[in-house]
């Protein structure tokens, strides 16, 4: 369990906005950052000590990158597992490749979760159109067909209402391995962001309530107004997952709160997460600092909320509202330095904070 | 009055810790930063989109640098005025060269301050050993002899108690142009950090109380527990200075609070300032964001304190305490990425925050 020292280097696979915010947090703690990203103009590369530009599949480049830093982490869960394993040969990889493998495949992920006391919705693996029909019969309509791998922000998902629709959706996804998930009649979408240190200590942030539209997160409110029971249950689930994976770093667990108040895990993200952005402006130590601390082998920081927060994503053309947000008293504007505001692209976010409500 | 747009570039003359923290604040707002510093391994260069490495006196390099960005600012007041003027030919320079010229010479500075309703201690310019003797007779012992230019962190200063000592100190400073300042029997050292936008709006942070040792800032406490009268007077002084200089950006005004409660300006710093570091962890918008907003031609942010703060500098070997501060619950550790902990060198700082005391 090696710990980094000030002016040591952390390598980050991925140079998007999460890598950028990680790099800023690392810099505040006196660390240098090396970004690995195929895009020479990626957002994180412009705030890092060095940018290594190569495809994620280039194992020789990954090896050189990892050998040049004291610890490696990643900002997205679709890093090729072979590349992660190659990096781990040259520097501590935190979290480890097992977390990546678990999160990259929805069937593996849900099987893992259920095995460790974290309930999910019912599901069936789908490898053929006939599987899709059979699964539909078993789970009942409506259900959601998703590709097993490489989905994000609602891509590769379809709501299906009959065996025919399920089979058609499977074929529309080019017959890639898929999963059919029972529909969760949820009351609210919640998430818990938590961290585990190299020493095994776990610290969880207050649960946030999240609102999605078209599969993309629009807003988070935190701390969520949930029962003490639900808060304890979210905490228990996060700890069970972190311990089972012998995890080091920040993880996000997306949850459905059902009508009866019970929780189901929707999915896990083995990285800092959009639903934790509110912590930057409202918590003692934010999720990016927390992840850097864990990756560096340092003690975790204090995840307590000092303020209540509403985090609003700026998506696509909404980034054009930046002058309004800049002029809004007390609004904390974060822009990611992306040059093109394509539809559905996360361009920045705003956090509004207020006093913590008591009890 | 041109305003920058996201992904535009700000140029910063100077790549020390202030440049580094400015660069991090600019990055959060979606701007790219270009650092100009002769040191290829300077702290700010490792968090910037680009580092231009050249002597500050290299006017051609300064011209190319300024032409490549949309606005230029600086992180230290000893930028050669000729270089600042050259930069201003190619991009808006904020604050302007007049602020630099005023702050670089202690006689010019105090003359300017007195002319604009900001009282200083009594002083006399000293150009010769005889001047030093005469000034000592006029001001009385003890007094402080300082070089007019290029002093910082207590360098180029001597307390003198007789005409002989004053003459000897002048000669020890290689007969460089100097100033003799009357001793201020102050009760406390205060400072006010304030900003003026390109639109002329002024926003001041709460006053901080500062403790120096050997001419180097050790700690700041904020908001300072001062009378409403003193707070209003500090605010009035900061506004008078900002308006008189047609200033754009953050300025720091160091103040002595005398036994009778009145204030004297010790010196001004035309930049973000060590006594404003507490704002990073305790204010709605910190001094670095505020300076970036001003330089970008954007509306100023909210300088309100949300928390009370105690900021502790980590100087020289004190940086070795980093593991203790990392483990201290709620402590906000900032390290500057400097590789060598030389004596007297500012290596980082820690901010401890607490609830605001009422009244």
Q: Taking each helix axis from N to C terminus, what angle separates B81-88 and B97-104, rounded to the nearest 10 degrees? A: 170
Question: What percentage of chain B exceeds 90 in pLDDT?
Answer: 94
Give domain status of residue B105, yes or no: no
Burial class of A57 by CB neighbour count within 10 A (0 to 12, 13 to 18, 19+): exposed
The domain that contains B223 carries what CATH number?
3.30.470.20
Beta strands in A98-248 (DSSP E): 123-126, 143-147, 157-160, 178-182, 186-196, 202-204, 208-213, 216-222
> Mean of the pLDDT values across residues B332-340?
95
Q: Which among B280, B307, B310, B155 is positioned nearest to B219, based on CA atoms?
A: B310
In angstroms, the CA A23 to CA A32 distance is: 8
Q: Are B17 and B76 in contact (CB under 8 A)?
A: no
Neighbours of B323 (CB within 10 A): 13
* CA distance linking residue A272 with residue A101, whole number of Å: 17
My answer on whether B273 and B344 are in the same domain is yes
Task: Compute the count of residue pairs across chains A and B with CB atoms less than 8 Å apart.
Answer: 101
Q: How many residues does chain B have?
A: 359
The pLDDT assigned to A359 comes to 46
Q: Are A315 and A281 in contact (CB under 8 A)?
A: no
pLDDT above 60 (res B359): no
Q: Which two tokens stand for residue A47?
A: 């705030």
Residue B159: is the preceding peptide bond cis (ω within 30°)? no
Looking at the structure, do residues B196 and B263 belong to the same domain, yes or no? yes
Chain B residues touching residue A19 (CB < 8 angstroms): none
| Closest by Cα among B119, B104, B111 to B237 | B119
- A35 in B contact zone (CB under 8 Å): no
| Backbone phi and psi for residue B171, each to the nearest 5 degrees, phi listed first | -70, -35
**Are residues B80 and B160 both part of a single domain?**
no
Q: Per residue of chain A (359 residues), give pLDDT as tens.
A: 579 999 999 999 999 999 999 999 999 999 999 999 999 999 999 999 999 999 999 999 999 999 999 999 999 999 999 999 999 999 999 999 999 999 999 999 999 999 999 999 999 999 999 999 999 999 999 999 999 998 666 678 999 999 999 999 999 999 999 999 999 889 999 999 999 999 999 999 999 999 999 889 999 999 999 999 999 999 999 999 999 999 999 999 999 999 999 999 999 999 999 999 999 999 999 999 999 999 999 999 999 999 999 999 999 999 999 999 999 998 999 999 999 999 999 999 999 999 997 54
Contacts B198 to A, Cβ<8 Å: none
Counting beta carbons within 10 angstroms of the beta carbon of residue A6, is it exposed (0 to 12), middle (13 to 18) or buried (19 or more)? Answer: buried
B286 within a domain of the structure (yes/no):
yes
A336 touches chain B (CB under 8 A): yes
Is there a domain that residue B129 lies in?
A: yes
Q: Is B201 on the interface with A (CB under 8 A)?
A: no
d(CA B253, CA A313): 38
Chain B interface includes A42 (CB < 8 A):
no
Coil, helix or strand at residue B103: helix
Q: CB contact, 8 Å: B12 with chain A?
A: no
> Do residues B170 and B134 share a domain?
yes
> Cis ω on the peptide bond leading into residue B261 (within 30° of 0)?
no
Say yes or no: A178 and A195 in one domain: no
Q: How far apart are CA A298 and CA A300, in angstroms?
A: 6
Q: Which of A4, A15, A27 to mutate to test the interface with B (most CBs of B within 10 A)?
A: A27
- Rounded-to-integer distance, Cα B46 and Cα B142, Å: 45
Co-location of B138 and B246 in the same domain: no
Note the pLDDT of residue B156.
82
Residues B151 and B87 in one domain: no
Please tell me the number of Cα atoms within 13 Å of B104 on its side-chain side: 13
- A191/A332 same-domain check: yes
**Residue among A318, A305, A323, A304 at smallest CA distance from A348:** A318
Closest by Cα among A13, A34, A156 to A77: A13
**CB interface of A with B, residues 233-292, below 8 Å:** 284-285
Beta-bridge partners for B354: B308
- Mean pLDDT computed over B79-99: 97
Residue A157 lies in a domain: yes
Q: Which of A49, A73, A93 is the last residue of a domain?
A: A93
Number of domains within chain A: 3
Residue B165 vs residues B121, B142, B158: alpha-carbon distances, Å = 20, 10, 9
Phi, psi of B45 (to 5 degrees): -65, -25
What pLDDT was estimated at residue B214? 86
CA B309, CA B205: separation in Å to the nearest integer? Answer: 13
Residues A208 and A279 occupy one common structural domain: yes
If you compute the radius of gyration of chain B from its CA atoms, what whole number of angstroms results?
20
Q: Is A48 on the interface with B (CB under 8 A)?
A: yes
- Return the C-alpha torsion angle A82, A87, A93, A98, nearest 10: 10
Residue (of B268, B265, B266, B270) closest to B294 by Cα position = B270
Q: What was the ipTM of the complex prediction?
A: 0.95
CA–CA gap between residue B156 and residue B168 (Å, rounded): 13
Backbone angles phi, psi at A229, to 5 degrees: -65, -50
For residue A47, give its domain range.
Answer: 9-93
Please give the pLDDT value at position A152.
Answer: 65
Q: Looking at residue A154, what is its pLDDT?
A: 67
Q: How far is B119 from chain A (nearest CA, A)?
A: 33
Q: Is B358 on the interface with A (CB under 8 A)?
A: no
Q: Which residues pair with B189 in a beta bridge?
A: B210, B256
**Is the residue at A110 inside a domain?**
no
What is the C-alpha to C-alpha distance for residues B16 and B22, in angstroms, rounded to an integer?
A: 10
Residue B330's pLDDT is 87
CATH of the domain at A172: 3.30.1490.20
Q: What is the CA radius of gyration of chain A?
A: 20
Looking at residue A214, what is its pLDDT?
A: 86
CATH of the domain at B52: 3.40.50.20
Domain C-terminal end among B156, B182, B208:
B182
Q: What is the pLDDT of residue A67?
A: 98
pLDDT of residue B358: 59
CB contact under 8 A, B337 and A32: yes
- Burial (Cβ within 10 Å: 0-12, 13-18, ≥19) of residue A214: exposed
In-domain check, residue B266: yes
Determine the straight-line distance between the first and last CA of chain A, rounded to whole angstroms.
40
- Could you tell me if residue B110 is inside a domain? no
Residues A78 and A104: beta-carbon distance below 8 Å: yes
Using the Cβ of A201 and the Cβ atoms of chain B, whether some distance falls under 8 Å is answered with no
Instruction: Give residue for tokens 């020390």.
Output: B16
Q: B198 with B164, same domain?
A: no
Residue A142 in any domain: the answer is yes
B260/B345 same-domain check? yes
For B46, which of A6, A32, A307 is closest by C-beta distance? Answer: A32
Q: How far apart are CA B41 and CA A84, in angstroms?
A: 30
Helix (H, G, I), strand (E, B) or coil at B207: coil
Final residue of a structural domain among A93, A112, A140: A93
Same domain, A67 and A51: yes
Residue B357 CB contacts under 8 Å (≥ 6 apart), including other chains? B308
Largest CA distance in chain B: 59
């Amino acid at each position: 369990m090696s710990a980094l020292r000030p002016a040591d280097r952390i390598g980050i696979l991925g140079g998007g906005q999460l890598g950028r915010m990680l790099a800023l947090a690392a810099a505040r703690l006196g660390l240098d950052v090396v970004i690995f990203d195929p895009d020479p103009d990626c957002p994180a590369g412009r705030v890092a000590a060095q940018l290594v530009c190569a495809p994620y599949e280039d194992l020789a480049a990954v090896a050189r990158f990892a050998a040049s830093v004291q610890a490696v982490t990643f900002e997205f869960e679709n890093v090729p597992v072979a590349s992660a394993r190659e990096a781990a040969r040259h520097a501590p990889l935190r979290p480890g490749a097992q977390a990546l493998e678990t999160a990259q495949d929805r069937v593996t992920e849900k099987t893992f979760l259920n095995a460790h006391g974290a309930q999910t919705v019912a599901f069936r693996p789908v490898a053929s159109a006939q599987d899709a029909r059979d699964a539909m019969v078993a789970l009942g309509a409506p259900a959601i067909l998703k590709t097993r791998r490489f989905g994000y922000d609602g891509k590769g998902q379809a709501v299906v209402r009959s065996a025919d629709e399920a089979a058609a959706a499977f074929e529309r996804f080019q017959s890639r391995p898929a999963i059919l998930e029972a529909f969760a009649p949820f009351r609210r979408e919640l998430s818990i962001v938590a961290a585990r240190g190299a020493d095994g200590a776990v610290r969880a942030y207050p649960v946030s309530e999240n609102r999605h539209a078209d599969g993309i997160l629009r807003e988070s409110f935190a701390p969520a107004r949930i029962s003490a029971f639900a808060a304890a249950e979210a905490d228990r689930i996060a700890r069970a997952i972190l311990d089972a994976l012998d995890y080091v770093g920040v993880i996000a667990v997306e949850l459905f709160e059902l009508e009866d108040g019970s929780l189901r895990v929707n999915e896990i993200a083995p990285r800092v997460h959009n639903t934790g952005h509110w912590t930057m402006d409202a918590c003692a130590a934010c999720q990016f600092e927390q992840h850097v601390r864990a990756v560096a082998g340092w003690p975790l920081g204090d995840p307590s909320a000092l303020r209540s927060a509403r985090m609003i994503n700026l998506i696509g053309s909404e980034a054009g509202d930046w002058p309004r947000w800049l002029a809004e008293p007390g609004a904390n504007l974060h822009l990611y330095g992306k040059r093109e505001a394509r539809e559905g692209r996360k361009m920045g976010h705003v956090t509004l904070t207020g006093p913590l409500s008591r009890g």
